[in-house]
Amino acid sequence: MKPSLRKNLAIALGVLVSAVAIAQGISSYQLCRAGMSALLDLRLEQVAVRMRNGLAETIPATPSRGSQPSRDIVITIRRPDSDVPLRSTDPSLALPEDAAAGFSSEMVAGERWRIYSLRDAGRLIQIAQRSTVRDELERETALSTLWPTLVMLPLVLGAVLLIVGISFRKIKQLGDEVQAIDASHLKPLPSAGVPTELLPFVDSINRMIERLAQSIEAERKFIADAAHELRTPLTALQLQADNLQPHIYPGNQERFNELRSGIGRSSALITQLLRLARADAPLSGGEIEPVDVSRIVVEAVSDVLPIAAARGIDIGADKILTDKVAASGADVTIAVKNLVSNAVRYSPDDGTIDLHMRTQGNLMWVEVTDTGPGIAEELLPRVFDRFFRANLDVEGTGLGLSIVKSITQKYGGDAVLRNRNDGRSGVVAAVGFPLAEASAGAGRNVDNDPHTGTMTKSAGTDPYPHGRDL
């Protein structure tokens, strides 16, 4: 388990508060018992003084048996030369005459008593109380003082957790902002409201972001400049090859065609590099606009219909939504068309390609599902790496999915790719863009052909054999 500063601080403060509360409780308990004992002693002394001042006659000479409650004090007044008390609330209790003046604790009739003895004018006045009764009174009173501590301790612990949580909220916000940083979102962290202790950390991250942004911008400019510089000679080379083709000896046509294919692949790579540089470029405010994704999906399918029909591939969409996304129309087109063209490239003859649009949270997703060979699970984490190709048997540059990922992340969306989990081979590739304001007909299906206004199938006699819109 990873160490947590927030958890450690909360535990430390909780232990400290609990220890202080326990110490306070024990101290309050002991002080309360001592105070209650002194109060009970004062009561015994006051009663003795009142007996000396003339209240002794109020005590019956022969009290009835059982009239003395066990929790009450016992009063005995006697003369030193008499074995029988002059007055007593409990004549059966023989208090020791030799008890020391003042307070003492004695064993009488098998019980411990607290006795106050007062000698005055030839009389011995003794006021006694059972020690068990005193202990019970002291304990009850002392325990009552612990209730505030028992009630306040959970409240204080809760306040500690709340304060720690509030104190670390800024750290969590900074962590979320750092987590959101990528090549397309290199904004410095805000320093307003940041605690002084965190400012050096935030400043270090901002300097790192600045250096990273400069490095990425330099790489983007290099790719763009190199692609532009290479495009012109490659275009000239392509034109020269086209002009030279009629003059090639028939026996050399095959090698000449390989040369032209190489030039074409190089041109395609240059085009992809330019698209990658554009995808990596930071956004400007004017690029974001409400984009109708359904039109782009229709156009993407329309572009590959001839190839799909020639190979017997059944391509269609089971749901088209009219929701709009906030992005650049050109970028959304590149992303969607890339997924559709990949699906056609990797699907076998007589395969099936399904398009599906859905909204989840604040994103509009376009999913493309094919029946190709799929991708090895260990290679899936690398499919969006630049120049990575999972299947070397199929021609490509290894930049298409990287461009898609860069485009979607630039607008706060995402791109994902996974193998199918319905028992069939193939992959599910999806791009998500943030939703713009929902249109009046959001969520309705669109049924129109990319050319004539009616959505049709690319193969098969039934235009809707799967109940799809496309």
What is the pLDDT, as a whole number, of residue 467? Answer: 36
Chain segment 140-183, per-residue pLDDT in tens: 888 888 888 888 888 988 888 888 888 777 777 777 777 777 66
Residue 140 in contact with residue 165, Cβ under 8 Å? no
Q: What pLDDT is attached to residue 464?
A: 31
Residues 436, 323: Cα–Cα separation, whole Å: 8
Residue 327 in tokens = 């992005």
Task: Find, among 391, 383, 408, the residue nearest to 333 by Cα.
Answer: 408
Q: Parallel, antiparallel, or unpaired for β 427-434 and 414-419?
A: antiparallel
pLDDT, position 278: 67
Sketch out the chain's domains with CATH numbers: 5-144 (3.30.450), 196-280 (1.10.287.130), 285-434 (3.30.565.10)
pLDDT of residue 282: 62
pLDDT of res. 31: 92
pLDDT on residue 280: 65
pTM comes to 0.49
pLDDT at 251: 79
The single residue listed with the structure tokens 């939504």 is 321
- Digit-coded pLDDT (tens) for 107-150: 988 889 999 999 887 788 889 999 999 899 898 888 888 888 88
Q: Which residues of 313-352 are buried (b: 16+ CB within 10 A; e: fewer)?
A: bbbbbbbbbbbbbbbbbebbbbbbbbbbbbbbbbbeeebb
H or E element, residue 290: strand 289-292
Encoded amino acid at 126, one letter: Q
Per-residue pLDDT at 199: 82
Spans in the chain with pLDDT lower than 70 = 1-2, 61-68, 182-185, 220, 223-232, 272, 274-287, 391-397, 437-470
So what's the pLDDT on residue 431?
92
Q: How many CB atoms lie within 10 A of CB 267?
A: 16
